[in-house]
Copies of this chain bind each other. A is one copy, B any other.
Amino acid sequence: MSSRIEPVDLPRAYLLLNHGPTVLVTSAHGEARNVMAAAWAMPLDFSPPKMLVVVDKNTYTRELIEASGEFALCIPSRAQAQATLRVGSHSGRGEDKFLASGLTTFPASKIGAPLVSGCLGWLECRVVPEPHNQQAYDLFIGEVVAAWAAPDAFSGNRWHFPDGERRSVHYLAGGSFFATGEAFNVSDPE
């Protein structure tokens, strides 16, 4: 597992989520912090980059995001799939889910939410307030204020997963995932 991280140019930050990986959503407010899993996250805009994520009203993460106006999206590797399922299946109200799931963290650069160590990429986001979307659809828009990648998996604005474990994952249901698979290129015929 690499512990190096390198900045990603903000207009290229969408590339971290363009292929639809499942993410870990981190949040913090005061002394409180939390992490949950989200399959429903995607880019919304290129520059300034914005991301969408659905965060249910019943979650502790929702409380912390609404209180702080910030969250991070961290892209876990296949090696972190069990921890991803764990933090997606329990509430952080009664426990520190980082400790309970074995996920360690390091500080973000521009927001209070921590970043999960060992992930493949990280997007630090500030909420773009849209109260109707938040209330009616549990839908949050985050402007990306800093983006980072693990250079063994993403550099030069492209993904190049080094092996079967250091690659992103796509959650289905009931503990089932897909790993991100084979890369291939096609050309526009005209």
Please report A residues at the B interface, Cβ cutoff 8 Å.
15, 18-22, 39-45, 50, 52, 54, 78, 81-82, 85-86, 89-90, 100, 132-133, 137, 139, 141, 158-159, 164, 167, 170-190
Contact = CB atoms under 8 A, between A and B. Distances in A.
A167 B184 CA distance: 13
Contact of A170 (B20, B22, B89): B20
A79 to B, nearest CB: 11
14 contacts: A18-B171, A19-B171, A20-B21, A39-B42, A45-B137, A52-B139, A158-B172, A158-B176, A176-B183, A176-B184, A179-B181, A179-B182, A179-B184, A181-B181
A137 B183 contact: no
Contacts of A179: 181-182, 184
A42 B42 contact: yes
Given A184-B179, A185-B176, A20 B44 contact: no
A189 B15 contact: no
Contact of A42 (B20, B50, B159, B189): B20
Q: How many copies of this chain does one complex carry?
A: 2
A182 B185 contact: no
A105 to B, nearest CB: 19
Nearest to A132: B132
Contacts of A185: 174-177
B82 A186 contact: yes
Contacts of A45: 137
A81 B186 contact: yes
